[in-house]
Structure 1
Amino acid sequence: MQEKIEKQLALFSKRMISLDELERIIQPFVQTYEEFAEMVLALEAKGTIEMVKAKGRTIRTPSLAFQYRIHKHLLMKNYHRELQRYQNQLHPAIQLDEYYGKEPSVWERDKPFILKIDAYLRTHNLPREVAAAPERSVELVGDEKWIDEGGGREVLKRIGLFELLRIVPVSDPLMFAINPTNIARTSQLHLIVENKTTYQALLPALCDTFFSTLIYGKGKSVISNIEQFSMQYPIQATHRFYYFGDIDREGVSIWYSLSKKIPVSPALPFYRACLRKEPTRGKEYQTERAEALLSFLSYFDLDEKWWLSELLASGLYYPQETLKTWELQHIWRETDWTS
């Protein structure tokens, strides 16, 4: 009983607790005031809670303090002992190390799911076949939305299981066109463009280039859809990706997020051609990601970095549509992309 009460105190949101708040925690475990007071005094004697002297004590017998200070560092020892006990009992693939640095409330929230995952692993062990997130979610906890919408992905990463469970994302198919003359190459180029207009403008020139595919990014969609590439295009080769999007905060952010998924370089000839045009005013509402802009600018020379920084800071931008169809196709055909 005391262990359960101490766990509740460890989860309590504040360092100070009033007698009324303490009563609400202990009340389910006792029947009388005497039993309640005995439990509070036992916690005092143990050092788990300490009287706040300035608040005084009640006149009832036994007398209790009106307010206590919770010594959470002592309660954390019990929490760590519990983690160690569970670590010794759970399937060896489940790792609890990350919980030692988190609040006990995180462990309490995750524990019911971890126990279900443990039961699954003891019956089926680690899966050999890949499965979509909803399918694996049902297998593990009986809720198809748990991994993608219920925080399950984070839980599985905390316990070191996400990669081991061979989960594939459910995302829209990646949209791209193929250049059949280049699919046999051992080293292949792929161009990703943010907008539909640019995709349609470049498509007729695809077979005149050294690129194997032209990929329609559909804005932010490409960040998740790119994970489908190897399954939709199972060609054994060295693949090199280029990206061309709007020169605005959103376009830079999309490229940066995509670069965290695959190695992808800004398609500099297209971007530099934009910089020779007149910029457009607008999109001041977009939020800047400082790390994204810094990474993007690292591909440009000093003068270009200065101009791009000034451009975006002053509320100007370049849409992809700045370049006309003939310009896009000429740049794509004539640039030496392999150097």
Structure 2
Amino acid sequence: MKKKVTLDSIEKRGFTSYEEEVAYVHKQMQDGLLTPMKSSATNDRYPPLYLKYWMTTEEKQDYSDELNHLHYALDPTYYLSHQKEYEKVRSFVLALQQYLSRPHQKGKVSAREGAYEIFGYEKVFDENKHLLAHLGLSLEDLDFYETVEPIAYYTNGLFQNALIVENSSPYFTIRDLLLHHQTTFLGESFDTIIYGAGHRIESTLKEAKLSFLPYDLEKCRFYYCGDIDYEGLSIFDNARKLLPMKPFDAMYRLMLDHATNRKLTLMKEKQTQPSDDVYTCFAPDLRSRMQEVLKSGYYIPQEMINRRDLEDAS
């Protein structure tokens, strides 16, 4: 579809120089988006530009009829009013329609297995989080189940005191010490170490509940330690709402002790803020020291503590 545009309307884009304007017009002409109306005059500048052009505009495709004839299990309501979004996922929707319209084996499969069967690509649901919801479906409706990253943990078999750590380095350090029969860390006994994996903590804890089915979770005491920054505290804040746990104060205290008189790194900007009551989980002296560091704009990584600190304190 074409429409007439004037050079005056093009100039309203706010070019910083005439050279920039000329370069823009020539590029649009090269791409076939602008065609000069040679019957119009040119301006009186050099190099000259025509005063009027034909502009090629993308014609909007109306998918209403197609959407209204989708499989009865697919609700077209959302995409009828968001057709640009539909255009991006159209091939997936049509593949899903074909899948629902043909006989297929019954029985549960994982979301990625199901995605491969439908689309020939296993990560479609991962990369298009709202695809099914916008069609009024869920994974369960398709007999698919969601999978999470496998949990990394080690236990000596007792599973009475478990420490969850945010980062991988302390996880591997403490696991190795447990394998070498050390059970006391900074004055506290632990028989299990769990890698929380940062913001994956929700899926980690869901997986933990399945992995530890032989044990009685209510009889186990859970402790947590992560980075001292707003993000790290937010992760702990979310974790304690999913599974009762306490912060491992002794490890946080040692992190703060090591940070004294050391040059710290500035915290990353725009971090997720934890709820205010998360600070009440910590001992009063620890709470004030942590808040002082946070207000200064710095952070203390969990790696502030190393293997030697944990061995010496055992």
The TM-score with structure 1 as length reference comes to 0.55
CA contact (8 A) 2:166 2:225 kept: yes
Residue 176 of structure 1: aligned partner:
153
Residue 296 of structure 2: aligned partner:
314
Residue 208 of structure 2: aligned partner:
229
Count of matched residue positions in the alignment of Structure 1 and Structure 2: 251
* Residue among 290, 293, 310 paired with 1:325: 310
Secondary structure of the residue that 1:281 maps to in structure 2?
coil
**How far 1:155 sits from its partner (Å)?**
1.3
Does 1:90 pair with 2:82?
Answer: no
Does 1:138 pair with 2:116?
Answer: yes
Residue 253 of structure 2: aligned partner:
273
Compare relative contact order (CA 8 Å, sep 6+) and give the higher one, 1 or 2.
Answer: 2
Q: Aligned-pair RMSD on alpha carbons? A: 4.7
CA contact (8 A) 1:249 1:286 kept: no
**How far 1:288 sits from its partner (Å)?**
4.4
Structure 1 Cα separation of the partners of residues 298 and 231 of structure 2: 13
Structure 1 Cα separation of the partners of residues 136 and 313 of structure 2: 46
Query: Where does structure 2 lack aligned partners over 5 or more consecutive residues?
Result: 6-38, 41-52, 55-59
Residues 288, 86 of structure 1: alpha-carbon distance in 2 compared, 3 angstrom cutoff:
closer
Query: Where does structure 1 lack aligned partners over 5 or more consecutive residues?
Result: 6-16, 21-57, 60-65, 68-74, 183-187, 330-339
Structure 2 Cα separation of the partners of residues 116 and 174 of structure 1: 33
* Residue among 120, 145, 165 paired with 1:167: 145
The letter of the residue matching 1:213 is T
Structure 2 Cα separation of the partners of residues 189 and 286 of structure 1: 33
**How far 1:274 sits from its partner (Å)?**
3.8
Secondary structure of the residue that 1:243 maps to in structure 2?
strand
Structure 2 Cα separation of the partners of residues 97 and 241 of structure 1: 46
Structure 2 Cα separation of the partners of residues 277 and 229 of structure 1: 32
Does 1:297 pair with 2:279?
Answer: yes
Percent identical: 24
Deviations 1:24-52 (Å, cap 9, x if unpaired)?
xxxxxxxxxxxxxxxxxxxxxxxxxxxxx
Structure 2 Cα separation of the partners of residues 305 and 97 of structure 1: 50
Residue 163 of structure 2: aligned partner:
191
**How far 1:105 sits from its partner (Å)?**
0.5
Structure whose residues are more often helix by fraction = 1
Residue 45 of structure 1: aligned partner:
none
**How far 1:139 sits from its partner (Å)?**
1.0
Secondary structure of the residue that 1:155 maps to in structure 2?
coil
* Residue among 173, 188, 199 paired with 1:200: 173
Residues 246, 142 of structure 1: alpha-carbon distance in 2 compared, 3 angstrom cutoff:
same
CA contact (8 A) 1:116 1:141 kept: yes
Structure 1 Cα separation of the partners of residues 88 and 111 of structure 2: 24
Residues 298, 140 of structure 1: alpha-carbon distance in 2 compared, 3 angstrom cutoff:
farther
Residue 155 of structure 1: aligned partner:
131
Deviations 1:193-247 (Å, cap 9, x if unpaired)?
1343465346321799886632134556656555543454343644575421121
CA contact (8 A) 1:193 1:215 kept: yes
Secondary structure of the residue that 1:192 maps to in structure 2?
strand
Residue 120 of structure 1: aligned partner:
99
Structure 2 Cα separation of the partners of residues 160 and 270 of structure 1: 49
Secondary structure of the residue that 2:192 maps to in structure 1?
strand
